[in-house]
A and B are shown apart, each in its own frame.
Chain A
Amino acid sequence: MTAPAASADAPSARSFSSAGLVSVAQLAIVAVLLAGALLWMGPQQFVNALTLGAIYALIAIGYTLVYGIIELINFAHGDVFMVGTFLSLIFLTTLGFNGAITEPGLLALVLAGDFIFTMIALGLIGVLIERVAYRPLRNAPRLAPLITAIGVSFILQNAVQGVPPYFGFGPFNANSPQVFPTDWFVTLGNASIPVLSLFIIVTAVVMMIALQLFIGRTRIGRAMRSTALDRDAAALMGVNINRTIAITFLLGSALAGAAGVTFGLQYGVTNSGLGFNAGLKAFTAAVLGGIGNTVGAALGGFIIGFIEVGAAVAGLNRWSAAIVFGVLVIVLVFRPSGILGQQTGERA
């Protein structure tokens, strides 16, 4: 009884579905909201919101991917992102890049190397975490992997603080090299838009589109979707479940790695406690957008970016966290499955 019932309501909530978003009416609503935000906050704050939102969105997708496929709230994901900020820092400082690189060719090369290294390394760390901490508990009661996730979160924090020679940063704020010059601006009317912000937004959007295509168009993506839909049936159809879940963790963690690189470039600082706050906001983004839905997670990330920056614009920055979570509560009251999560009657 339980298995068929689960698979009956599963497709809606956890099929990574993005179908239904691209209706003209919905696009129009988004366009109107964006135009309104742009007019109200001005181009510079608009770009600030998009930048912050892009970073949240990249992290949020990791939550949603993992939840979509094994229904686990991966509480360690915020700390995976934090490790990503440090991997990027280590990559850049080891190669001797401590300040801005103004030569475009070299900058492109260093950034490409940084993204590739951090994303692959962090992706593999994600796979390792899944193998060690979650796979053995896949059939255990749901609370068990939740607790191991919290454990992994602490292990990652302490590893960054105390494991030499690569880590061992202590609980300090560590300076992350801002190799992308922070004093490059595009002038737009009387607003000067940092080129770095535009770079971050474009990079994040490109990655999200690539992920969407990967899930929607490739064999592995199809395996992921079918595993999310019904793990047992997918296994019977010849899908390698373990490998598919590992790849999901790889993708989620790699995107967190990209978020880590962009975070370091944008804010120039990181510390081992970063994961908690970032993870909380990104998790909120995933829930807000409809957990299990990758487009929803991205949307949620941008919404939170806009709420936080909007709070500052309105002079309410003091209450920005309260406003973010207030919006979350209101949305969940009316749409318990999030903005893009499809409404289901019975959901545990």
Chain B
Amino acid sequence: MKFARVGAAIAAAAIVVAACGGTANSGKTVKVGITLPLSGSSLASAGPARDGALLAIKEANAAGTVKGYTIEPVIKDHAVNGQYDAQQGAKDMTALVSDPAVVAVVGPFNSAVAKVQIPISNEAGLAQCSPANTNPDLTKGDAGKELRAKQPDKINYVRVATTDDIQGPAVAQYAFQDLGLKNVAIIDDLTVYGKGIADAFTAEFEKLGGKVVGREGADPKTTDFLPILTKFKDLNPDSVFYGGVTANGGGLVRKQMPQAGLGDLPYLGGDGIQDQNGGVQGSFINIAGPAAENSFSSVAAIHDIPDAAAFAEKYTAEYKADPGAYSASGYACMQIFIKALADAAAKGDITREAVRAGVTSGASFDTVLGPVTFDEVGDTSQKIISLYKTDMTAADGKGDWIFDKQIDYGAS
């Protein structure tokens, strides 16, 4: 015990010496966690969100936005064998919570991971901003309350993506009104996100007068979708909707549709199948191959960001790649934290509580996505869905998602 204290004192002294020896602007260090699935099939979708967040940190450090502090990212990858893993996500969040220097966390990407992370971050009062979670139950209603049971009054989880109760219906409206589809068959991947968006899609599609001719669930680990697709064929759908993510079979279903004689049908999905171009290993278009033609997907975020060209330019300069679907969202999450950190630093000290209170105060944040305010449960004021279509001639013939249009549900 005594030795430990002496050791700590020496270490602290060493840090002070090191800090004094360093450059003038880098006083103290404050850590921001990034918890995303960053290997395997998940990388194609979550990697760009991480890069967006890191870009924001880099800029803030260079400009000295948070006076007297340097922001240091702590990156945690909760993909296990290439697929996001909720258990690993919980472990990572526990690790972040137990590091007192971590004052905010960007992530996660998948709703199933958020479901296990929110109770942990809520108990610690640690601000968390997801660039991509869309399941409504993470924040709204009794399900949301249950997740923050430890500190119900302290909203700590916010998200810049809007929710599936808006995204699912948006895809349904797009399918029914714009694409003229009337009979859809649905597969979900048995996950929190997949079932949720498929349910939301179904409700709206039926309300509009469309018919859901079949609904099946498929284990995320399965590779054989032919039995389901063969069954669908007898039901004569005019399209197939997949509620789920690429890593769980979003690409494989599309790939196997021609084998089941359904190759001509349009294929629909949410943001779970909207990832990078066909040249990126593990992306939807890469897995589905030529069958990816005539597929449609959405992103629960704004596509035409206010200053798109400027953002794309600096992102490309940094990473030699175009921004992904959630790059700007990752960047925006970090911008919000940086603002909260700067405010807290100006008032004196950066604490977890100061950052959390700053983020959820109801103030409007000026982000790359446009102005963002969080409501009483932490959901964004920006309710915009962007819709995409595959174009197999894009990305030098490898195929890519091409933006079609965006719909703003904010007014309603």
Binding site for B on A (CB under 8 A): 42, 44-45, 48-49, 51-52, 157, 170-175, 182-183, 185, 192, 194, 196, 263, 267-269, 271-274, 276-277, 308-309, 311-313, 315, 317-318, 320-321
Q: Which residues of chain B come closer than 8 Å to A157, judged between CB atoms?
A: 81
B406 CB within 8 Å of chain A: no
State which of A182, A267, A318 has its C-beta within 8 Å of the C-beta of B190: A318
* A173 x B256 contact (CB < 8 A): no
B231 CB within 8 Å of chain A: yes
Which one of B158-166, B281-289, B363-371 contacts A? Answer: B281-289
User: Considering only CB atoms, which chain B residue lies closest to A315 in the complex?
Assistant: B216
* 9 CB-based A-B contacts, threshold 8 Å: A45-B227, A52-B226, A52-B227, A172-B41, A182-B259, A194-B259, A269-B287, A271-B82, A313-B231
B320 CB within 8 Å of chain A: no
Q: Which residues of chain B come closer than 8 Å to A42, judged between CB atoms?
A: 234
Q: If the complex has contacts A267-B256, A269-B255, A274-B223, are A171 and B218 also in contact, measured as CB distance less than 8 A? A: no
A interface secondary structure, majority:
helix
State which of A45, A171, A173, A269 has its C-beta within 8 Å of the C-beta of B230: A45
Q: Which residues of chain B come closer than 8 Å to A194, judged between CB atoms?
A: 259
What 8 pairs between A and B have smallest CB-CB spacing?
A171-B82, A318-B217, A312-B227, A171-B40, A273-B81, A172-B282, A309-B227, A277-B221
Binding site for A on B (CB under 8 A): 39-41, 79, 81-83, 190, 216-219, 221-224, 226-228, 230-231, 233-234, 247, 251-252, 255-256, 258-259, 261, 263, 281-282, 286-287, 289
* A172 x B281 contact (CB < 8 A): yes
User: Considering only CB atoms, which chain A residue lies closest to B218 in the complex?
Assistant: A317
* A308 x B224 contact (CB < 8 A): yes
Bound complex: CA of A243 vs CA of B295, how far in Å? 54
* B83 x A312 contact (CB < 8 A): no
Q: If the complex has contacts A317-B218, A318-B217, are A48 and B82 also in contact, measured as CB distance less than 8 A? A: no
Bound complex: CA of A49 vs CA of B224, how far in Å? 10
Bound complex: CA of A42 vs CA of B261, how far in Å? 15
Q: Which residues of chain A come closer than 8 Å to B261, judged between CB atoms?
A: 185, 192
- B297 to chain A minimum Cβ distance, whole angstroms, is 18
Starting from the known contacts A272-B82, A312-B230, A315-B231, 12 additional A-B residue pairs (CB-CB under 8 Å) come to A157-B81, A171-B81, A171-B82, A173-B82, A173-B247, A269-B223, A269-B287, A272-B81, A273-B83, A274-B223, A317-B216, A317-B218
- The number of residue pairs between A and B whose CB atoms lie closer than 8 Å in the complex comes to 105
* A269 x B252 contact (CB < 8 A): yes
State which of B227, B234, B258 has its C-beta within 8 Å of the C-beta of A182: B258
Q: Which residues of chain B come closer than 8 Å to A317, judged between CB atoms?
A: 216-218, 227-228
Bound complex: CA of A156 vs CA of B223, how far in Å? 20
* A318 x B216 contact (CB < 8 A): yes
Bound complex: CA of A192 vs CA of B258, how far in Å? 12
Bound complex: CA of A272 vs CA of B41, how far in Å? 11
